[in-house]
């Protein structure tokens, strides 16, 4: 017989993993309707908030490395939602800007957060409470010694 602390069902990481998979199952049809993936959605949300970002800034916001963000931006550029602009003084510096198509997609995406929240939460109070708990957990893990 296994000890309770080693049961899969007792692991926080397993519960978080299951939650992540279930959330992605809710997101998938919503984002399929928009023709984008979840990573593209996250990048576009950052762009909708800031309108223009350097690749490094986008990496920082998404907490991803350039090896992940650069191909993501390339795919978004191929769809016509963003465009890359190189700095004339420093060819290595790339800025990403929204296109008109990217701005129009924002309007179509407005219902996505509410649709997800309606599956998970009972209301605004629960949203605020959960957001605070998750923020605290993330902060603890980021600052552990």
Give the phi and the psi of residue 135 in degrees, each rounded to 5.
-60, -40
How far is residue 12's CA from residue 25's CA, in Å, rounded to a whole number? 20
C-alpha distances (whole Å) from 34 to each of 5, 20, 44, 79, 120 are 42, 20, 12, 12, 21
83-115 pLDDT tens trace: 999 877 777 788 999 999 999 999 999 999 999
Give yes or no for residue 78 having a pLDDT over 90: yes
Q: How much is the mean pLDDT over the chain?
A: 93
Of the given ranges (69-73, 77-81, 117-121), which has the lowest mean pLDDT? 117-121
Q: Would you state the pLDDT for residue 88?
A: 76
How far is residue 34's CA from residue 19's CA, in Å, rounded to a whole number? 23
CATH architecture of 36-106: Orthogonal Bundle (1.10)
């Amino acid at each position: 017989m296994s000890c309770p602390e080693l049961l899969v069902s007792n692991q926080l990481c397993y519960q978080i993993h299951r939650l992540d998979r279930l959330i992605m199952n809710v997101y998938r049809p919503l984002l399929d309707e928009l023709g984008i993936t979840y990573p593209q959605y996250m990048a576009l949300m950052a762009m909708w908030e800031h309108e223009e970002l350097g690749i490094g800034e986008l990496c920082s916001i998404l907490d991803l490395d350039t090896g992940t963000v650069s191909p993501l931006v390339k795919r978004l550029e191929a769809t016509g939602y963003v465009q890359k602009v190189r700095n004339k003084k420093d060819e290595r510096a790339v800025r990403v800007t929204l296109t008109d198509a990217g701005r129009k997609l924002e309007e179509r995406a407005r219902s996505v957060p509410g649709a997800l929240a309606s599956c998970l939460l009972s209301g605004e109070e629960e949203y605020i409470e959960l957001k605070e708990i998750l923020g605290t957990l993330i902060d603890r893990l980021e600052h552990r010694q």
